[in-house]
């Protein structure tokens, strides 16, 4: 069902400092900050040869990332994202096995302008999993 690793999302308390770390210290290619108001975050994309890193920062106090950073003030890995060929088929197959899809269960348009779903971390070894239609 799952395809390649699309990205690893890292919640960061200081987006400018994290961007500089990846760009200046690690020599990575980074994007400009991209606000995602529908998701309550601002993201910076770090391009790697085989995948991406998303640096994720809260956009407003209601951001789901704000709660994560309250518990993890230094930041940390927030979720991993796998590609799937058909997000609705993947959702239905996962739900049939008892996996919980977060939200209303309907795909939303994610930061890469593709449909995404999130799966409950308690069902996946304590890891928040995002599925993105390839």
Domains annotated on the chain, with CATH: 2-133 (3.10.180.10)
Q: Facing residues of 118 across strands?
A: 130
Residue 16, pLDDT score: 98
The pTM assigned to this predicted structure is 0.93
Residue 38, pLDDT score: 87
Q: What's the token pair of residue 90?
A: 């993947």
Residue 89, pLDDT score: 98
pLDDT tens-place values along the chain, 134 residues long: 999 999 999 999 999 999 999 999 999 999 999 999 988 999 999 999 999 999 999 998 889 899 999 999 999 999 999 999 999 999 999 999 999 999 999 999 998 899 999 999 999 999 999 999 99
Task: Indicate which residue of 32, 54, 61, 130 is catalytic.
Answer: 130
Q: What's the token pair of residue 47?
A: 């391009």
DSSP symbol at 122: G
Pairing relationship of beta strands 34-36 and 2-11 according to DSSP bridges: unpaired
State yes or no: is 32 an active-site residue. Answer: no
User: How many other C-beta atoms are found inside a 10 Å radius of the C-beta of residue 120?
Assistant: 13
Residue 61, pLDDT score: 84
Backbone angles phi, psi at 21, to 5 degrees: -60, -50
Q: Facing residues of 127 across strands?
A: none
| Closest alpha carbon to 132 in 8, 9, 6, 1 | 6
Residue 90, pLDDT score: 98
Residue 111, pLDDT score: 86
User: How many other C-beta atoms are found inside a 10 Å radius of the C-beta of residue 43?
Assistant: 24
């Amino acid at each position: 069902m799952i395809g390649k690793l699309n990205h690893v999302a890292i919640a960061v308390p200081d987006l400018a400092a994290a961007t500089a770390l990846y760009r200046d210290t690690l020599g990575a290619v980074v994007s400009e900050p991209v606000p995602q108001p529908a998701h309550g975050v601002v993201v910076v994309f770090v391009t790697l040869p085989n995948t991406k890193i998303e640096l994720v920062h809260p956009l407003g106090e209601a951001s789901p990332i704000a709660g994560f950073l309250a518990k993890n003030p230094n930041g940390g890995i927030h979720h991993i994202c796998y590609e799937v060929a058909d997000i609705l088929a993947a959702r239905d197959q996962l739900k049939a096995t008892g996996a919980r899809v977060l939200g209303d269960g309907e795909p939303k348009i994610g930061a890469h302008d593709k449909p995404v779903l999130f799966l409950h971390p308690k069902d996946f070894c304590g890891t928040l999993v995002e599925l993105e239609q390839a």
